[in-house]
């Protein structure tokens, strides 16, 4: 049964007045009786539209500084009454309670107030009581009441008023009710997380925006992204972003954030296959590509500088999926837009969440994001030989990359250029051998290169292999019971080794 309902009366109480004038004018057009509160009531009166203040209905003023104004049986009775229940309707008549067919209510900006850095008292006052109660009541009684809990729903409401004469179907009211509970549950999640702080007593995650993806990690898997992606990027060209694109984009953003100089990075399957910092963007691109021109095919490119036409023309010579930059010159975009599916993203200034989440078994792992950045003053030289200033620069550079590389990981760097990496191996020796083999394949001279490891060396064998390849300076966290073996080998072979004291596993 369609069970269509025509709107005859409305209760309106909103914090945000955007486009409210359109709504109330349309309600007036359909002779809808309007009840309202406080500032919303004054706003409607100023438009010259008849409105009844809830105080006239309840015979009680707004009290406690506005904390109590709609919490009254004459308000909630008119919302929750079941029209098909004879006893409900008799009670409404007995107590002179009007019916409400439409409830338009939003909530105080609690989340925005928290993010503004306001004090506790101001934040507490933004916990909505009446509003959220009205929303839940109207949503519960969706069989008879249409609830609008956000200005984002005004378009749908105006369509019902304009094209359907103010008459809604049961399916439409159920849809609005679901959206209302989405609003209320998201609001409660924000409040809980504020009070819970860092205690981690329960896990509450709420994202009200979503993007359906073509598929998940593989074509037979469904995929959805939850979050406000538009807050981080403006997509100015290309096809829809895929699940795997997003994984690579996430890795790319985390990596590029480590570097302040003019840097270009190329990523494939979440790992850097090319990265260089140079004085010019063109040189940074060319040297990043030189690190592994084979793996760069179909990769994700990211830079922390504006892309110019000259660099764009060089980039355009290879096939890639995504390019990310803080800005693009217009003539550079003309070049890059030549491939219709190529995804071009302008990265906005936006901080990544402070925690990361990962589902395992029947639960969720939560941890702080790895934001540790080891600087020169944090390094501890544990060998007699001290690395040169150039080696220290490269050691820090390599350590930044290995932090964002799948374990077990070894990274080789020379002159602020990634010349090879060993990625995701089951042994550190295999990761090192992979990196050495790749560097030699692309004709890099390893003499003078430095090595970074994401975790300590359990034995001295990796250091011995590195020495044989021409590497003379190593950075690692330290912490093995056999650290002395590696240090002794370095001391007898004129190698420098520094400890960071911080491990960067990445699974």
User: Which residues are annotated as catalytic?
Assistant: 140, 269
Measured CA distances, 342 to 9, 273, 276, 323 (Å):
52, 20, 23, 8
How far, in whole angstroms, is CA 429 from its chain's centroid? Answer: 36
Residue 479 in contact with residue 503, Cβ under 8 Å?
Answer: yes
Residue in this structure with the two tokens 């909505």, named with its chain if needed: 128
Residue in this structure with the two tokens 């989440």, named with its chain if needed: 357
Residue 382 in contact with residue 478, Cβ under 8 Å?
Answer: yes
Q: Is residue 497 classed as helix, strand or coil in its secondary structure?
A: strand
In terms of DSSP H, where are the helices of 265-369? 281-290, 309-315, 330-336
Q: What is the DSSP letter of 358?
A: E
Residue in this structure with the two tokens 């021109």, named with its chain if needed: 293
Distance CA 410, CA 345 (A): 30
- When computed from its CA atoms, the radius of gyration of the chain, rounded to whole angstroms, is 31
Residue 281 in contact with residue 315, Cβ under 8 Å?
Answer: no
In terms of DSSP H, where are the helices of 141-229? 154-163, 170-196
Residue 13 in contact with residue 134, Cβ under 8 Å?
Answer: yes
Residue 483 in contact with residue 456, Cβ under 8 Å?
Answer: yes
Distance CA 92, CA 97 (A): 5
Residues in a beta bridge with 237 = 344
User: Among residues 172, 346, 324, which one has the least CA distance to residue 252?
Assistant: 324
Residue 212 in contact with residue 286, Cβ under 8 Å?
Answer: no
């Amino acid at each position: 049964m369609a069970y269509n309902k025509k709107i005859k009366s409305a209760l309106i109480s909103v914090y945000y007045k955007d486009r409210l004038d359109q709504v109330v004018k349309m309600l007036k057009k359909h002779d809808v009786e309007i009840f309202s509160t406080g500032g919303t009531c004054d706003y409607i009166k100023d438009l010259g539209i008849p409105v009844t203040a809830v105080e006239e209905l309840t015979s009680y003023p707004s009290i406690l500084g506005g904390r109590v104004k709609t919490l009254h049986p004459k308000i909630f009775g008119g919302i929750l009454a079941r029209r098909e229940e004879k006893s409900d309707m008799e009670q409404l008549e007995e107590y002179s309670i009007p019916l409400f067919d439409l409830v338009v209510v939003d909530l105080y900006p609690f989340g925005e107030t928290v993010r503004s850095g306001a004090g506790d008292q101001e934040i507490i006052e933004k916990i909505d009581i009446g509003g959220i109660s009205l929303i839940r009541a109207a949503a519960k009684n969706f069989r008879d009441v249409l609830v609008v809990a956000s200005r984002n729903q005004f378009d749908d409401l105006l369509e019902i008023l304009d094209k359907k004469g103010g008459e809604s179907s049961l399916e439409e009211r159920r849809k609005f009710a679901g959206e209302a509970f989405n609003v209320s549950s998201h609001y409660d999640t924000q409040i809980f997380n504020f009070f819970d702080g860092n205690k981690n007593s329960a896990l509450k995650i709420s994202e009200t925006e979503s993007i359906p993806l073509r598929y998940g990690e593989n074509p037979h898997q469904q995929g959805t992204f939850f979050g406000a992606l538009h807050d981080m990027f403006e997509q100015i060209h290309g096809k829809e972003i895929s699940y795997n694109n997003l994984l690579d984009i996430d890795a790319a953003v985390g990596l590029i954030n480590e570097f302040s100089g003019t840097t270009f990075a190329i990523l494939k399957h979440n790992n850097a296959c090319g990265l260089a910092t140079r004085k010019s963007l063109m040189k940074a691109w060319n040297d990043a590509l030189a690190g592994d021109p084979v793996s760069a095919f179909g990769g994700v490119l990211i830079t922390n500088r504006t892309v110019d036409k000259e660099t764009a023309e060089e980039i355009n010579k290879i096939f890639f999926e995504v390019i990310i930059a803080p800005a693009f010159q217009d003539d550079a975009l003309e070049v890059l837009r030549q491939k219709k599916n190529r995804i071009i993203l302008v990265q906005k200034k936006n901080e990544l969440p402070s925690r990361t989440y990962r589902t395992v078994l029947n639960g969720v792992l939560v941890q702080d994001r790895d934001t540790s950045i080891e600087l020169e003053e944090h390094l501890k030289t544990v060998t007699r030989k001290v690395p040169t200033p150039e080696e220290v620069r490269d050691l820090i550079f390599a350590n930044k990359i290995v932090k964002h590389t799948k374990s077990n990981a070894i990274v080789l760097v020379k002159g602020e250029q990634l010349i090879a990496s060993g990625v995701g191996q089951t042994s550190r020796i295999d990761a090192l051998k992979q990196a050495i083999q790749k560097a030699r394949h692309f004709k890099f001279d390893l003499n003078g290169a430095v090595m970074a490891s994401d975790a300590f060396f359990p034995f001295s064998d990796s250091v011995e292999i590195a020495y044989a390849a021409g590497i003379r300076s190593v950075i690692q966290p330290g912490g093995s019971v056999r650290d002395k073996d590696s240090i002794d080998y370095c001391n007898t072979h004129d190698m420098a080794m520094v400890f960071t004291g911080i491990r960067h596993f990445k699974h």
